[in-house]
Structure 1
Amino acid sequence: MGLPADHAALLRAVAEALLQARGRIDGVEAMVSDLIRQTAPEDRSAALTQAQSLDVLAQEIEALSGVLQRLGQGEAPDQALLAVPLANLSVRLGAGVGLNPASAPASDDVELF
């Protein structure tokens, strides 16, 4: 049984909207980088650590977009999750479809700036 065309189209549209949101995060990251450079040296490390959560968010949004895109192309949920490069996210999402964490992909995991 295939995915209804309107469901597939909606999944692909949401995936695209997520990628656009991810692109806007790049602008916020640039602004935060500028602010961190202006932060007092003794506070810079803590500010950088907090700012890295933006990078994690961007990577998660991109991964979620990929899952929705694959679902919109008719892939089975377990197969769509196998392509998620973030192990923690893959395991969390996989719990909803019965994906065994042991079969989660070898992860590139989060790459921080």
Structure 2
Amino acid sequence: MSAPPEHADLLAAVADELMLVREGIDGIEALVSDLVRRAPPEERPNALTQAQALDALTQRLEALSGVLRMLGGGASPSEAVSRLSLADMAGRLRPAAGEHRPQSNADAGDLMLF
């Protein structure tokens, strides 16, 4: 079963917008990385940790864009969520897709930081 054309078009457009936001954050990441390198040595660990939050945001935006594209392509909510590469996000979205949260988050370490 595929989404009605007007839904599919809107979902694709929203997915595109999320990717544009992601590109904007990529530019900010470059600026922040430069600032972290210039930070005093004693402040770098904390600055780096905060900078990594931007990378996590870009990964989340990309994952959400993928969910919207799958839904627009006719995937069921359950299928779209099951293909998420970010286990923590998938766990949060499963109830809305009609699934139960898994009991264990043992495999939730898939967030990649720079």
By the TM > 0.5 criterion, same fold? yes
How far 1:52 moved relative to its partner? Answer: 0.7
**Deviations 1:79-102, CA, capped at 9 Å, x for gaps:** 001110001100111121222233
* Matched length: 112
**Deviations 1:2-21, CA, capped at 9 Å, x for gaps:** 42110110001101111111
Unaligned runs of 5+ in 2: none
Matched residue type, 2:111: V
- Residue 37 (structure 1) aligns with: 37
Matched residue type, 1:109: D
Unaligned runs of 5+ in 1: none
1:1-113 equivalence runs, <5 A: 2-102=2-102, 109-113=110-114
Matched residue type, 2:31: M
Runs of 4+ in 1 over 4 A off after TM superposition: none
Q: TM-score, normalised by structure 2?
A: 0.90
Q: TM-score, normalised by structure 1?
A: 0.91
Percent of matched pairs sharing the same residue: 48
User: SS in structure 2 opposite 1:61?
Assistant: helix
**Deviations 1:31-87, CA, capped at 9 Å, x for gaps:** 000000110000000000011110000000000000000000010000001110001
Q: What's the Cα RMSD here? A: 1.8
